[in-house]
Amino acid sequence: GAGVSQSPRYKVAKRGQDVALRCDPISGHVSLFWYQQALGQGPEFLTYFQNEAQLDKSGLPSDRFFAERPEGSVSTLKIQRTQQEDSAVYLCASSLEGTGSDIQYFGAGTRLSVL
């Protein structure tokens, strides 16, 4: 596709439910990043893939958060047993190579509300 696509755009979950957020990066982009953005704050890094390898997951807040990119393209961020503090916008970005000097291209995000 022309840009990074994320789905769903909005997700409402009851506390305790599992959710899965999808990211479809720009075709050919090696690296894929997930960020969490709380209201009024900047994005905070969650995890990063180069192709199918998860190179850094230091930002995942707990073991309830899990991300995968099995074929080196589409990625899924899964949150198990959602809590109210998980409410945020989840942003996905891709970059051509994935070094810190690369420009990252962002999707519009998934807004998760946990009730």
Partner 1 sequence: SQQGEEDPQALSIQEGENATMNCSYKTSINNLQWYRQNSGRGLVHLILIRSNEREKHSGRLRVTLDTSKKSSSLLITASRAADTASYFCATDGNTDKLIFGTGTRLQVFP
Where along the sequence are the contacts to partner 1 (CB under 8 A)?
4, 31, 33, 35, 40-45, 48, 50, 55-56, 59, 91, 93, 98-101, 103-109
Nearer to partner 1, 74 or 108 (CB): 108
Q: Which two tokens stand for residue 80?
A: 């198990």
Q: How far apart are CA 34 and CA 14, in angstroms?
A: 22
Nearer to partner 1, 80 or 108 (CB): 108
- Whole-number minimum distance, CB 86 to partner 1, in Å? 18
Nearer to partner 1, 34 or 114 (CB): 34
- Whole-number minimum distance, CB 103 to partner 1, in Å? 5
Count the neighbouring beta carbons within 10 Å of the beta carbon of residue 59.
15
- Whole-number minimum distance, CB 98 to partner 1, in Å? 6
Q: Maximum distance among all alpha carbons in the chain?
A: 39
Q: Which residues contact 82 (CB under 8 A, 6 or more apart)?
A: 13, 14, 15, 16, 17, 18, 19, 64, 112, 114
Nearer to partner 1, 9 or 15 (CB): 9
- Whole-number minimum distance, CB 16 to partner 1, in Å? 27
Count the neighbouring beta carbons within 10 Å of the beta carbon of residue 23.
27
